[in-house]
C-alpha cells in the first residue's frame, strides 16, 4: 500500500516536496557523503551537464535540476527485467561479497524500464526533451534537456 502511494506521488511530481517531510517524520538525516554531494551540486553552473549513476528516486538529480536549470541531465539505473535479474545473481562469480550480491538483486528489482522515469520527471511549466532507453545488457538510461523557458 505504501509503495503504491509513493508511486502515485512520484508520477504526480510531488516526490521532491514530500521527501523532506518523509525524512523528517522517520528521523532520516543526511550523512557526510550526502552533505558533500549537495555542496558540490550547489556550485554547478546553470548549463552544467549532470550525471547521476544509480539515481534511485532522484534525490541528487532533483538538486542538480534546481542548481542547473538550463542543464542537461543523465540518469542511469539497473534495468528491471529477466536478463538483468539473471546477471545480478551472477555477480558472485566476479568475486563480489555477500552484501554486494544481495544489493545487486535488490537494485534490479528497484530498477526501471520502459518510460517510467519520463513519467516521473516534473515538468513544472518548462518544455523538456526527454529520452529513455536500454543501455547495454543490464542498465537503463534517461536523459532530459530543457527546450523552452519557464
Closest CA to 50 of 61, 42, 34, 38: 61
- Which residue range(s) make up the domain with 61? 2-146
CB 44 within 8 A of CB 32: no
What domain count does the chain have? 1
Q: Dump pLDDT digits (tens) for 80-132.
A: 999 999 999 999 999 999 999 999 999 999 888 899 888 888 766 678 899 99
Q: Dump pLDDT digits (tens) for 45-93.
A: 999 999 988 877 778 888 898 899 899 999 999 999 999 999 999 999 9
pTM: 0.71
Map grid coordinates 541528487 to a residue: 60
> CA–CA distance from 72 to each of 119, 144, 145, 146 (Å)?
17, 6, 5, 7
Closest CA to 72 of 115, 130, 3, 135: 130
Kindly tell me the burial class for residue 37, based on how many C-beta atoms sit within 10 Å of its own C-beta (0-12, 13-18, 19 or more).
middle
Lookup: cell for 143: 536523459
Amino acid at each position: 500500500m505504501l509503495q503504491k502511494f509513493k508511486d502515485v506521488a512520484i508520477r504526480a511530481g510531488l516526490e521532491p516536496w514530500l521527501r523532506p517531510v518523509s525524512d523528517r517524520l522517520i528521523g532520516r538525516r543526511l550523512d557526510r557523503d550526502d552533505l558533500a554531494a549537495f555542496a558540490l551540486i550547489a556550485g554547478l553552473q546553470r548549463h552544467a551537464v549532470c550525471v547521476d549513476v544509480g539515481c534511485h528516486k532522484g534525490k541528487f538529480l532533483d538538486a542538480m535540476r534546481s542548481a542547473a536549470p538550463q542543464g542537461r541531465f543523465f540518469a542511469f539505473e539497473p534495468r528491471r527485467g529477466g536478463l538483468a535479474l539473471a546477471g545480478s545473481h551472477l555477480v558472485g562469480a566476479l568475486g563480489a561479497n555477500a552484501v554486494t550480491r544481495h544489493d545487486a538483486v535488490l537494485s534490479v528489482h528497484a530498477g526501471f524500464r520502459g518510460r517510467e522515469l519520463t513519467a516521473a520527471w516534473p515538468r513544472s511549466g518548462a518544455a523538456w526533451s526527454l529520452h529513455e532507453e536500454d543501455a547495454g545488457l543490464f542498465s537503463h538510461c534517461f536523459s532530459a534537456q530543457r527546450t523552452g523557458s519557464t
